[in-house]
Amino acid sequence: MIKFIVSSNALLKELQTISGVLNANNALPILDDFLFRLNKEELNIYASDLETTIMTTISVDSKDKGEITIPRLLIEMLKNFADQPLTFIVDTAKYGIEINSDSGKYKITGHDSEEFPKMIAVEKPTTLDLESDVLLTAINKTIFAVANDDLRPVMSGIYCNFSSNDVTFVATDAHKLVKYRRPIQGVEKENSVIIARKPMNLLKNILATKDGKVKVEYNKTNASFVAGNVQLTCRLIDGKYPNYDAVIPKENPNQLTIEREAFLSSLKRVSILSNKTTHQVRLKITDNALTLTSEDPDFSSEANERMACQYQGENMEIGFNSRFLLEMLSNLDSDEVKLQMSTPNRAGVITPNPQKDGEDILMLVMPVMLNN
């Protein structure tokens, strides 16, 4: 028998932090549960989907030691309590859980903690410390470009390269690519890992509420991130990431500089009337004017807008999938952006103008064939 007292709000907050890892349908029923591991005044809570495990630590009032798994419906119960101390009394032999509040008593059944998957230890890791806001920005700037591609698993994650003086994050789905680079110190030898979209999304949500340093550990198969009282451990994607540098065009003589917000608003309006399959928007650039055009012959709809810009290069017409452009412009925060191009059938390169201090962001978008 074990007993502990905990604040209902504090417990709810920690469970919500780690519950994102739980899948809607699990092959193993135990993965619908949280593992509670009590060590006197410290309670460690785990959630897992086998590939990724998250642990959080919370202070409780107790003198006992022991463990139990508790079904996820505990979250629904906690949402309906006003903030108050709850007393948990757990029969570890029969897995019965009694919860006492100011106004009532509730009984649910847990499961044997032995069935719960063990948290993976990262053996012989490479270790580094990153500021949480650096890691959060790197994930935010790249995760939207990750592919949903079961046939090429390496592209369904973010490629992270740690070298002696910088960290580079890359994501691509073959239509768009984002490369985010930032100088850092403290990496002894160059290494790279590929981390799947789900753990990166979970990490992003955790980091949004944490300040200070994140301890990163990784080897060839696993990675672990510790931020404050939360630890996330995940399996890495195995495989070789495509040579992304090879697809970034180096010579781009045609350069368009334009106000980001104005360009974004114009694209949003024009793209509404674009073809529902291709989402194509045509950019026609002459002198210092940009004309955006879209059409959908099936519905006899079309749109065009003209806006001022700064342009150096030859007059040009190029087509892009408007959804990709919209995503890229929405994930930048500079006042202006630069769009660099060589020819209408080669990728365009978008960069913030100017780049923030200590940041280097490059976004690449493939053109679509214009039907004249």
Give pLDDT tens digits for 47-79: 999 999 999 999 999 999 999 999 999 999 999
Considering 225, 245, 265, which residue would you say is the last residue of a domain?
Answer: 245
Please indicate, yes or no, whether residues 239 and 289 belong to a single structural domain of this protein: no
Q: Which residue has the tokens 């580094």?
A: 128
Average pLDDT over residues 152-173: 93
Please indicate, yes or no, whether residues 154 and 184 belong to a single structural domain of this protein: yes
Average pLDDT, the chain: 94
| CA dihedral angle for residue 323, residue 324, residue 330, residue 333, rounded to 10 degrees | -160
Indicate the number of domains in the chain: 3
pLDDT of residue 216: 94
Average pLDDT over residues 28-32: 92
Please indicate, yes or no, whether residues 167 and 94 belong to a single structural domain of this protein: no
| Residue, of 149 and 157, whose pLDDT is higher | 157
In the predicted model, is pLDDT for residue 7 greater than 80? yes
Please indicate, yes or no, whether residues 174 and 97 belong to a single structural domain of this protein: no
Question: What is the domain-level CATH number for residue 136?
Answer: 3.10.150.10
In the predicted model, is pLDDT for residue 371 greater than 80? no
What pairs with residue 161 in β-bridges? 168, 192
Q: Is residue 187 part of a domain?
A: yes
pTM attached to this predicted model: 0.92
Lowest mean pLDDT among 26-30, 117-121, 186-190: 186-190
Question: What residues contact 76, with CB distance under 8 A and at least 6 apart?
Answer: none
pLDDT of residue 110: 95
Lowest mean pLDDT among 186-190, 258-262, 264-268, 269-273: 186-190
Q: Is residue 120 part of a domain?
A: no
pLDDT of residue 199: 97
Q: Which domain holds residue 58?
A: 2-115
In the predicted model, is pLDDT for residue 372 greater than 90? no
In the predicted model, is pLDDT for residue 101 greater than 90? yes
Average pLDDT over residues 288-301: 93
Phi, psi of 351 (to 5 degrees): -135, 150
Considering 69, 96, 115, which residue would you say is the last residue of a domain?
Answer: 115
Average pLDDT over residues 325-342: 96
Distance CA 187, CA 165 (A): 7
